[in-house]
């Protein structure tokens, strides 16, 4: 019995480390490995296009710019990789709180979503910056801001 307890403890420790390591790998995949993710929406027929690839700004933040031509039109979008992969398919977290974006106000994302697309209706046409902040990996923040050039 004395010999079994250390083996049980070591086995459970290895299992815990293994799952923590997988989580860390997932974090690295999003922020450091460079898996391309894109702004995809009704403005580009939901395609993963190079001009809408999000670029790494720092270890937690990725962003891209988009020209929204029609003020008052609702634009729908998600942030996702080329294959809509689980864990890299980011839509809103809570329909009532996070679906509709307002300029400058971050909302929470769920990167395991399927149909939860964000909506944004600009008050004026022009260039906008869309960013996603992965500092809190389980609930990244998405923000849209008007770019003044």
Are 83 and 121 members of one domain? yes
Q: Which domain holds residue 120?
A: 36-146
Are 41 and 60 members of one domain? yes
Each residue's pLDDT, cut to its tens digit, for the chain (149 residues) gives 555 444 444 444 333 333 222 233 344 344 335 689 999 999 999 999 999 999 999 999 999 999 999 999 999 999 999 999 989 999 999 999 999 999 999 999 999 999 999 999 999 999 999 999 999 989 999 999 999 87
Are 78 and 139 members of one domain? yes
Task: Return the half-sphere exposure (C-beta side, CA atoms, 13 A cut-off) of residue 118.
Answer: 33
pLDDT of residue 12: 40
pLDDT of residue 140: 97
Closest of 134, 132, 135 to residue 143, by C-alpha? 132
DSSP 21: H
Can you say whether residue 3 is alpha, beta or left, with left for phi > 0 and alpha for psi between -120 and 50 degrees? alpha
Are 52 and 65 members of one domain? yes
Are 140 and 113 members of one domain? yes
Are 67 and 113 members of one domain? yes
Radius of gyration of the chain (CA): 19
Are 22 and 84 members of one domain? no
Residue whose tokens read 């299992």: 15
CATH number for 93: 2.60.40.10
pLDDT of residue 3: 54
Q: Tokens for 77, please give them.
A: 């979008």
């Amino acid at each position: 019995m004395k010999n079994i307890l250390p083996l049980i403890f070591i086995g459970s420790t290895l299992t815990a480390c293994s799952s923590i390591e997988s989580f860390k790998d997932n974090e690295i995949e999003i922020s450091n490995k460079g898996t391309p993710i894109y702004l995809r929406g009704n403005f580009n027929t939901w395609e993963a296009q190079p001009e809408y690839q999000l670029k790494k700004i720092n270890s937690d933040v990725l962003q891209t710019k988009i020209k929204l031509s029609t003020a008052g039109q609702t634009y729908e979008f998600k942030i996702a990789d080329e294959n809509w992969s689980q864990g890299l398919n980011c839509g809103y977290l809570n329909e009532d709180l996070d679906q509709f974006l307002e300029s400058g106000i971050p909302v929470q994302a769920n990167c395991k979503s399927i149909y939860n697309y964000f909506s944004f209706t600009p008050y004026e046409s022009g260039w906008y910056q869309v960013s996603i902040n992965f500092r809190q990996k389980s609930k990244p923040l998405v923000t849209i801001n008007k770019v003044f050039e």
